[in-house]
Amino acid sequence: MTEIAVPHFKQPLLKTPFHERARAFSQVDSFIPWAGYTTVDVFTTMEQEYFAIRNAATLYDLTPMVKYRVAGPDALPYLNRLVTRDLGKLKPDRVAYCVWCNDAGHLIDDGTVFRLSRDEYRICTAERQIDWFLDSAIGFDVEIGEVTEQIAALAVQGPTSCAVLKAVGLQGVEKLKPFEIGYFALGTHRLTVSRTGFTGDLGYELWMEPVSAEAVWDALMEAGRSRGIRAIGSQALNIARIEAGFLLPNVDFVSAEHTIRTGRDRSPLELGLGWLVDFNKGHFTGRRALLTERAQGSRRRLVGLDIAGNKPAHNSLLYTDDTGKREIGSVTSATWSPTCKRNIALAIVDAPHFQVGATVWAEIYLNRELVWERRMSRAQIVERPFFAPERRRATPPAEF
């Protein structure tokens, strides 16, 4: 096993290979730290960027996503013991969204697993967790190393994204099916393209060497000019991902490796990710605990909420009725959905109140010119995702 030590301590925040381009494009100078990098929160206005995701094409720098290379004869058995999904079914050049748990069956993190070849995989995830990955490798013939800094990554998302990629010269990119990986050349630059994303829309993620970053950015901006391309920051992406029903670590759940208080860990069953758990593939970490949870029933569930009114239910507590006497959960992510025209949220709700169709009440606080008002709003538990357009799956995607 090898481990790549990166001297992060020498520089509090690193710059991604796209940083100079992002700085030039930024109008409001709004940067935020993300996983050790300085990244853009908003370029122009959040609304403008959000609508570009849903109506045109967008560039989003996701280089800070933590990336691990997993390779060796035991790579597959290793990963199958690590994650809850059966990766035996994952073919080369395919991607799978996965979660992994601790012994108690509680989520450590989620991420995407790329099968690059027979015995080589890449895990993309939000948090650094080399210690968990290495401890999971005890007894397996597998090499694990962090490659975050060796790979620049750019998400190209939105209805015109495929057209942009074709215009820039990625011949055949339209044939990529969801979760498929393809290899392309852009001039002298080599690109790995996966049809993946965090917007719930048509979109791709481009993986490249850091030296290619600026040239690829420039080419995409140029080719996308007539297709409404725009760089976006994390704020706009956050709205899109709530509409798509995707979870954000440390927002919708806290890694079981980081929680201190009891009862703050979340299992995949509680997070509505039971479809990612394959009990028939053999042993994986957390399996025995999850079997027990499945037999006994989950104590809470992450659900989608459709809330009356138009005020986002940020951090709201949830109750059984509008008297607010019996607390049954809380909101983890909330937004007004501009596309659905609905007031939506993700929330954790205690058993047995989490059934789809059930009504709960959200306590929403409104700051009206420095005077706080409290409003109890009726909310209905609904299916996720809130927004799932056909175009996200259509192959080939529509022309623009």
Partner 1 sequence: MAVSAAQSQYDCIVIGGGHNGLVCAATLARGGRSVLVLEAGTQVGGAALTREFAPGFRVSAGAHLLHLMPADLLRELQLGSHGLDWAAEGMTTTALVPGGARLWLTAEGAEHGLSAPDAQAYASYTARMRRFAAALVPMFSRVPPRLGKEGWADRLALLRIGWQIRRLGRRDMRELLRIGGMNVYDLLEENFESAALKGALGFDAVLGANFGPRSPGTVLTLLYRLAAESAAGGSGMSQPKGGMGALCNALAGAASAAGATIRTGAPVASILVEGDRASGVVLESGESISARNVISSADPKTTFLRLLGPRHLDTGFVRRVKHIRSRGLAAKLHLALNRAPSFSGVGEASLRGRLLIAPSLQHIEHAYNHAKYGEFSAAPVMEITVPTVNDPTLAPAGQHVLSAIVQYAPYTLKEGWHSGRQRFTDAALDALERFAPGLRSSIVGAELLTPADMEQEFRISGGHWHHGDLAFDQFLMVRPVPGAAQYRTPLEGLFLCGAGCHPGGGVMGIAGRNAARQVLAAGKS
Instruction: Point out which residues bind partner 1 (CB under 8 A).
Output: 77, 81-82, 102-103, 132, 135-136, 138-140, 283, 285-288
What is the nearest approach in angstroms of partner 1 to the Cβ of residue 230? Answer: 42
* Beta carbon nearer to partner 1, 76 or 216: 76
DSSP string covering 128-191, please?
Answer: --HHHHHHHTTTS--EEEE-GGG-EEEEEESTTHHHHHHHHT-TTGGGPPTTBEEEEEETTEEE
Judged by beta carbon, residue 79 or residue 334, the one nearer partner 1 is 79
User: Minimal distance in Å, beta carbon 54 to partner 1?
Assistant: 40
Residue 233 three-state SS: coil
Name the residue nearer to partner 1 (CB basis): 34 or 132. 132
C-beta of 132: minimal distance to partner 1 in Å?
7
Shorter beta-carbon distance to partner 1: residue 283 or 374: 283
Residue with tokens 């920051």: 233
User: Least separation, in Å, of the C-beta of 142 and partner 1?
Assistant: 12
CB of 282 to partner 1, least distance (A): 8
Least Å distance, CB 288 to partner 1, is 6
Q: Using the minimum distance from each CB to partner 1, give the nearer residue, 77 or 249.
A: 77
Torsion of CA 258, 263, 269, 273, to 10 degrees: -40
Closer residue to partner 1 in complex, CB, 8/288: 288
Give dist(CA 166, CA 160) in Å, integer: 10
- What 354-358 contacts at long range (C-beta under 8 Å, 24+ apart), as own/partner pairs, is 354/300, 354/301, 354/303, 354/329, 354/381, 355/381, 356/303, 356/381, 356/382, 356/383, 357/381
Q: How far apart are CA 205 and CA 6, in angstroms?
A: 24
Amino acid 221 reads: M
